[in-house]
Structure 1
Amino acid sequence: MTIAGFVNLAMMATAAAAFHFNGHTGVADLDQAYMTLEPLLSHAAATIFGLSLIAAGLSSTVVGTLAGQVVMQGFIRFHIPLWFRRAITMLPSFVVILLGLDPTRILVMSQVLLSFGIALALVPLLIFTSNAKLMGDLVNTRWVRGIGWAIVAIVVSLNGWLIVGSLLGVD
């Protein structure tokens, strides 16, 4: 995941440097980014950009599928055949393609919805680490709990604002 994070960071930095400083501030989707990179930097840069996107997509798919498998098999003792797991993970993509929906908008909406995962992970984490019976001497102090709940409130508020803005089409 760290390597994928650095790849994404490199892609963002390259795009910011190449597009912004050359006056291309209206690049709205991946096709446009690829087509704009080629004349600005080189064919090799555009190809590396495309390969990086493929690598990022494959790694995120593998991580998501394996994480789901570990949770289902390890925690809830539920087994799904491999072919069915793969079909479930690919079905949303096929639906988007078949319905002719804007892939960039769907990608942004999926990331908005996924951002709630942060709060869904933080809330149980705070509850468990604030339980003295569970944590013993390592239990959260009031100060840490207060900061933690404030962060959760901020994240949930920003996520709510992001969802409303995305649904209303506000940039």
Structure 2
Amino acid sequence: METSATPSDPLRHVPDAAQRQDAWLLDQLLRLDVHRRAVDHRSTLGTADSRLLWLLSDGRARTLREIAQDLRLEQSTVNRQANAALAAGLVARRKGEGSAGMVFNPTPEGKQALDDATDFALDCCTRGLQVLEPEERQRFLGMLRRFIAAYGIAAHADSGAGGG
């Protein structure tokens, strides 16, 4: 970010209020990411396993290709992560009905691990929301939903992928 102009450097610009606000917001998002990583670190599941199990928690078995598309990851990455989850007993693989491909489902152990990790993350969210008054919480959650949707659209604008 540019700083205030000085007499010795007349080409430097003073950031306007919108730039300062955007920089503050980015700082807050980075701070949130530090805390999110701490939650991930304390979780019983790794990030890749959490993401895979979260996707499969809707009860629909998926092929590696479908997982890659839904998670917006390279298929080689998904292949490695799914096979690691398979080896850890978090997911099971079987032949898909009416398909030549193999599909993945969470195992009971995988479902329990996701439940445990989710409970911990939700507890952290609940503690964060408790500092807000009830009407503030509702307003905050509504604004956060809109912000994340717009942020996702901007983040994926040139990639052809939608925000979600």
Same fold (TM over 0.5): no
TM-score range, shorter chain: 0.3 to 0.5
- Greater strand share, 1 or 2? 2
- Greater helix share, 1 or 2? 1
Question: Which has the higher relative contact order, 1 or 2, with Cα contacts under 8 A spaced 6 or more apart?
Answer: 2
Provide TM-score, normalisation by structure 2.
Answer: 0.33
